[in-house]
Amino acid sequence: MVLKRLVVLGLAVSLGGCGDPKPQDTSSAASTTDEGSTGSSSTGTSASTTGSTPTDSTGTGTTGTGTTGSGATGTGTTGSGTTSTGTTGTGATGTGGTTATPWADYRDVPMPATANEYAALCSDVLGVVPQVDCGSGVRVPILVDGEEVFEEVGFRRCDDPDIKGACIPGSRVGRIMGSTADGEPLPDVYWVFFCRSQGPAGLARGLVSVQMIGHDTASGATCFFESPDAVGSDAHADYLDFDDEGNLIGVLPAPGEPEFDRVFISPRGEACTFCHQADPFLHTPWIDNARLPEDPSQPVLPEVAGPNTPYWVIGGGSWDYRTVHIDGNGCVSCHRAPDPERIFFLSGEDINDFMPPDAPGSMAEDYNAIRRCYDDPTGDPRCELGLPPY
């Protein structure tokens, strides 16, 4: 199993200590070719020569040059030559140009047809794909005037409706830390499962769903396991129920079991990044009301988003998840700015009602500028569209 590690990047969606880097421009993304050779360019090729004076001359080498997969020129090292009795010549270490990503084989591989095939692919990078036990997740509370309620209330009648505007109790979200097949921890890898309740009456009609996301904060590698209700199947209803407190419970088949292909589908033909455009985890006040029992200062859903954190999808090389960047815009000072209309069209939610978290609505003008860029990227020369780093 190939488990690759890169430098950890990432910060939660907060307002402190944020810079303003730009996302990767699509022209740069295109020039970093997947098939480009890096062998003679990331450090350049060097050649050393032996000094010709037999007593005290300093030998000198030549500077090698090379090109990377993206076509940028790398500068090699000056070779060091030695004489038979003289001093050793020294050279400065060169630096190469942009190298081809080590993840190309996983980013650009065709999306597998089945969930089990996808799990096998994801496990090469993210370690063990876990089995989902909805009962182990944390309840997403429904609040009305700050008090938790356990009965469904009307559309947008609770303090924090879900992403579709509903206020239905019983959903759960769980976080599982990554590990290798040998049980070694992978501290940069998070797995999150989400068991979405449609209430007991909905379950009786087969309306229930479970999704799962795996993400490596160091490399940006991400896998999405979609609910089969996206293709009209109510398979989850065969495995889930409600406990006495009205919360979803039930264990789904594990990866490797034939039934895993029944309870999950690979995101083949469906770009999950339509919604998960800027980062793998979508934070809203509703989902963030579920807190880690061992540390209530943290939501169960990991806060890993930053303006320049890596993010790419295994098998999703053809997906378009560029986001808008405007230099100096407050919305991109702490995180990338997705297109909220991709998400909130379902509920009619206004992002200014809860962003920024410490002063909702105070950055409405910044948001409007982002909104205009999505509506017409050519209308403002400051508008840039770029992919996250990978």
pLDDT (tens digit, 9 = 90+) per residue, 231-275? 999 999 999 999 999 999 999 999 999 999 999 999 986 689 999
CA distances from 39 to 69, 79, 97 (A): 9, 18, 12
Between 76 and 364, residue with greater pLDDT: 364
Residue whose structure tokens are 């090698």: 64
Q: What is the 3-state secondary structure (H, E, C) of 18-49?
A: CCCCCCEEHHHHHHCCCCCCCCCCCCCCCECC
Only one residue has tokens 């806060």, namely: 303
**Phi and psi angles of residue 312, each rounded to the nearest 5 degrees, phi first:** -155, 160
Q: Any idea where the domains of the chain sit in the sequence?
A: 103-318
Q: Residue 128 carries which DSSP code?
A: P
Residue ranges in the chain assigned as alpha helix (H) = 26-31, 104-107, 115-126, 199-204, 260-263, 341-344, 364-375
- The pTM assigned to this predicted structure is 0.74
Encode pLDDT of 303-359 as tens digits: 998 999 999 999 999 999 999 999 999 999 999 999 978 877 776 778 898 899 899
Q: Which residues pair with 149 in a beta bridge?
A: 142
pLDDT bracket for residue 23 (50, 70, 90): very low
Query: Cβ(66)–Cβ(96) under 8 Å?
Result: yes
Distance of CA 17 to the CA centre of its chain: 21
Paired tokens of 105: 């084989």
Share of the chain above pLDDT 90, in %: 64
Of the candidates 114, 102, 19, 61, the one whose C-alpha atom is nearest the C-alpha of residue 325 is 19
Identify whether the C-beta of residue 13 lies closer than 8 Å to the C-beta of residue 335: yes
Give the C-alpha separation, 335 to 214, whole Å.
20
Burial class of residue 364 in the structure, from the number of CB atoms within 10 Å of its CB (0-12 exposed, 13-18 middle, 19+ buried): middle
